[in-house]
Amino acid sequence: MGRHSCCYKQKLRKGLWSPEEDEKLLRHITKYGHGCWSSVPKQAGLQRCGKSCRLRWINYLRPDLKRGTFSQEEENLIIELHAVLGNRWSQIAAQLPGRTDNEIKNLWNSCLKKKLRQRGIDPVTHKPLSEVEHGEDTSQLRTNSKDMASSELNINANNPKPGTSSVTPRGYQLEMEGSPTSKTVNSSDNNGNTTTNLMTSTTTASKGFFPDKFSTNSQPSDLVGHLPIHQLNYASNARLSSTSNPTPWFTQTTQAFDINSEFSSAAMSSFLPPLTASFLSAPIGYKPSVADSPSMASFTMNGSRYWETGASANNNSNSSSNSTELQSNSSFYDNNSSSWGLPDCSTPEKEAPLHLMESQAEDIKWSEYLNNPLLMAAALQNQTPQSLYNMDIKSETHFLTNNSSNSMWTHNQQQQQQEPLQNPNMCAAKDIHRLTAAYGHV
């Protein structure tokens, strides 16, 4: 306990960094790269531990950092992402070029939480506070994200895993058609412990978790980077207008890509996963259409797997049914377009349309999908997750790619085959291994 092991060995400085230290570190890393962090302080002539150097570099010295206050768009995006990802600051930061997880975490704790509360939204659940308070009686809601994670997502009596912060904001569940209202997925970990993953049928999706900024007619932000799996619908087409200037997007590894060249606006508009989250994040006036139908394929970028819906109209039947379902709820969008923002405390009855959605669908938590592409695929294919977990890992690529029009995936596949060593995206294979291990198969 206490200080990091490397700090015991010698008397190391702690606390704020001096300009001289900064300069030393900056000069060293600029010249040699960081390599092994534990050796950096020695090589750079610093009386700091490697961990401290790393942190200083990441949070302050990195050249691609964007300093200064957060823009409104950034704040909006953080709120949206937090609703989906919970306190996964690093993942949230990955969507905000130039921002660090620490910065975002601080912003959240010091500012955004407060703002949401002032607007009557519970910052943990992103549900209206009134609803949360009411729901506390039934023990359905938790104010502690850790509780949420452990009790909702991963019930594992034999092998509890504290610290796995799979926060699932209640009320943001996926909607699937023709499925039971709850499921359990049993799996085993490497130790043979059985894990029961509950995909609970949940309560209401929440209206009003968006700050009022989203209910204005202002032009949506162009602030959407490479959002894993699900999130691109936040942007809607407008955010990725083909008329906008190409924007270089920096990943955490400082690789830039031109979002407009990587994704056509049409593709982006169809990036929407089937299920969802159009309703989570649709800007005003957004109505899901057939174009939103999901034929998912995936690609990897910087070690993360991303999922892409196909632009082709030849999607599978599930996708069309999903689209139909969404369309049938268009009144929902219409009726609620004025209440996407702040919960309108004066008209609490406006929650009603959400019941349309919750009543017909299986509710699977967003983060379940987020963390589990296999589950996502299962949803898309109307297969049981179990069956997918039991697939050989080699076939993982195939069930995602029944849409041959998806060049992105194809490209990445080829790239991975051709450049197994150079391509950082090879992490994807590792991720899949982790996934399958986590869900105990093979």
Partner DNA sequence: AAACCCTGCAACCGCGTCTCT
Partner DNA sequence: AAGAGACGCGGTTGCAGGGTT
Member of 26, 51, 155, 424 binding DNA (CB under 7 A): 51
Strand partners, 78: none
φ, ψ of residue 413 in degrees (nearest 5):
-60, -45
Site string for DNA, 61-80 (x = CB under 7 A): --------x-----------
First to last CA, the chain: 37
Site string for DNA, 113-142 (x = CB under 7 A): -x----------------------------
Please identify, among the stretches 102-110, 204-212, 328-336, 367-375, the one whose residues bind DNA according to the rule CB under 7 A: 102-110
Asked whether the beta carbons of 143 and 175 are under 8 A apart, the reply is no
**Residue number, 290 or 429, with CB nearest to DNA:** 429
Please identify, among the stretches 98-106, 257-265, 272-280, 390-398, the one whose residues bind DNA according to the rule CB under 7 A: 98-106
One DSSP character per residue, 86-151 reads -S-HHHHHHTSTT--HHHHHHHIIIIIHHHHHHTTB-TTT-SBHHHHHHHGGGT---S-HHHHIII
Member of 66, 146, 213, 287 binding DNA (CB under 7 A): 146
d(CA 394, CA 430): 12
Cα 428 to its chain centre, rounded Å, is 16
**Residue number, 114 or 355, with CB nearest to DNA:** 114
Binding to DNA (CB under 7 A): which residues in 294-313? none
C-alpha torsion sign, points 168, 361, 327, 217? negative
d(CA 281, CA 268): 15
Question: Smallest distance from the beta carbon of 111 to DNA, in angstroms?
Answer: 5
**Residue number, 7 or 356, with CB nearest to DNA:** 7
Binding to DNA (CB under 7 A): which residues in 6-45? 6-7, 13-17, 35-39
Q: Are strands 183-188 and 194-199 parallel, antiparallel or unpaired?
A: antiparallel
Binding to DNA (CB under 7 A): which residues in 371-430? 430
Member of 20, 45, 47, 111 binding DNA (CB under 7 A): 111
Q: Does the footprint of DNA cover residue 434 (CB under 7 A)?
A: yes
Member of 87, 233, 251, 336 binding DNA (CB under 7 A): 87
Q: Does the footprint of DNA cover residue 441 (CB under 7 A)?
A: no
Q: Which residues contact 115 (CB under 8 A, 6 or more apart)?
A: 211
Q: Does the footprint of DNA cover residue 163 (CB under 7 A)?
A: yes
Asked whether the beta carbons of 309 and 405 are under 8 A apart, the reply is no
Residues that bind DNA in the complex, under the rule CB under 7 A:
1-7, 13-17, 35-39, 48, 50-52, 54-56, 59-60, 69, 87-91, 101-103, 105-107, 109-111, 114, 145-146, 161-165, 430, 434
